[in-house]
Structure 1
Amino acid sequence: MSDALIIGGHGKVALLAAPKLIDHGFAVTSLIRKPEQAEDIEALGATPLVLDLTQLTPDEWDALLVRFDVVIWSAGAGGGTPGRTYAVDRDAALAVIDSLERLRDAGKAPRYLNVSYVGATKHSVPEDDPFFAYADSKKTVDDRLNGTEGLDYAILGPAALTLEPSNGWAPVDAAAENPEWSTETSRELVADVIAELAARDTLPENRTVEFIDGPNPVSEIG
């Protein structure tokens, strides 16, 4: 059995992804911030791990990540202050990439799936917009990850997230040809993509996988 770590394990996407990963044969550990969230994780069949990801040292990150075959970044400050957003969405995420590079050099780096959003590296959010800290963080992290070498990774780029059920996926540009389609992405679809890519023998050659709701089975994504 392979081992998967979800960083940000109590988020909406992560809670949907954990049982799907288990169905794909993974033993799942969910990193959470609050002890009172542990019961929800256990109810899914996953193992809770209570840590403050903003406080981990490089050695602690290395000792944690080396235990897993797949690591999923699904954490976020959830609309907090800019300081909190930068601490979680930028600095902690960069610390994970730094750790993956150290583990790569030792031949022990896990596969990495980074949940971002569509167009993150090309955002044009103005600095006075409340969304800027998040957009700036995601661009910084995605650019950093795309600048690495020798890592087995994929960046997931969903559009605006919904709580609708997943019926399949489509490429983002397919919406232009099908104006009746939604340009949103179900959170359940993101979870389906996480489980699909985690279990594949190889990841898509294009390391950034952007998608919206559509008619195609997730097995065809890439």
Structure 2
Amino acid sequence: MPKVLVIGGHGKIALLAAPLFVDRGFAVTSLIRNPDQTPDIEALGAQPLVRDITGLTPAQWDDLLSGFDVVVWSAGAGGGSAERTYAVDRDAALAVVDSLERLRDAGGAPRYINVSYLGATTHSVPEDDSFHPYAEAKKTVDDRLNSTTGLDYVILGPAALTSDPARGFDYPSSGLPREKTKTSRELVAQVIVELAGREKLPENHTVEFVDGDRPVREIRA
């Protein structure tokens, strides 16, 4: 039974992904910060793991990640202060990449699925915009991942997230009308589980997608 760790296990996407993982035969561990969320995780068939990802040492990260076949980053500060956003969305995420590289050098790292957003590495959000810390954090992490070698990873780039039911996916293009440049959280969860179930993640390390009519099983390999 493959083992998957979902970092940010009580986020909206993670809560949708956990039962899909269970249905696919994965043993799911959902990392959460608040112990009060434990019953929600257990109700999905996942194992809760309470940790503060902003306080883990490099050795603790290595010990944690080494026990899994797949690691999913779906954590986020959820807005609030810029300091908290940088601590979670940038610094903790960078600590994961550092750990994956150490595990690679020690003999093998788990596959890594990083949930980002469409166009993160080319963002032009001005510094006085409240979205800037998040955009800058995601760009920093995505650029860091793309500078690595020897890791089996993928960066997911959904568009503006919605709570709509998933119908399928499409690839973004300039020809798509504005109303189709959105991505259902349910679709993101389906893409995560689809890719995690494959023997190898896509060679094109960034997969951007929006709502559409294509079945998720066809997302590029």
* TM-score band w.r.t. shorter chain: over 0.9
What 5-or-longer segments of structure 1 have no aligned partner? none
Structure 1 outlier segments of 4+, above 4 Å: none
Give the TM-score, by structure 2 length. 0.98
User: Could you tell me how far apart the structure 1 residues matched to 2:194 and 2:108 are?
Assistant: 22
User: Could you tell me how far apart the structure 2 residues matched to 1:172 and 1:107 are?
Assistant: 37
Mapping 1:180-219, distance limit 5 Å = 182-219=180-217
Match of 1:158 in 2: 158
What 5-or-longer segments of structure 2 have no aligned partner? none
Deviation at 1:151, TM superposition (A): 0.2
Mapping 1:21-170, distance limit 5 Å = 21-170=21-170
Identity of aligned residues (%): 70
Deviation at 1:21, TM superposition (A): 1.0
Contact persistence 2:111–2:201 (CA under 8 A): no
User: Could you tell me how far apart the structure 2 residues matched to 1:202 and 1:6 are?
Assistant: 18
Tell which deviates more after alignment, 179-188 or 99-108. Answer: 179-188
Aligned length: 220
* Aligned-partner SS, 1:202: coil
User: Could you tell me how far apart the structure 2 residues matched to 1:148 and 1:163 are?
Assistant: 33
- Superposed CA offset, 1:161-204 (max 9, x none): 0000100000011xx43437521000000000000000001221
User: Could you tell me how far apart the structure 1 residues matched to 2:43 and 2:180 are?
Assistant: 32
User: Could you tell me how far apart the structure 2 residues matched to 1:186 and 1:179 are?
Assistant: 16
User: Could you tell me how far apart the structure 2 residues matched to 1:127 and 1:5 are?
Assistant: 33
User: Could you tell me how far apart the structure 1 residues matched to 2:178 and 2:154 are?
Assistant: 29
User: Could you tell me how far apart the structure 2 residues matched to 1:81 and 1:150 are?
Assistant: 35
- Superposed CA offset, 1:24-65 (max 9, x none): 111000000101000000000000000000000000000000
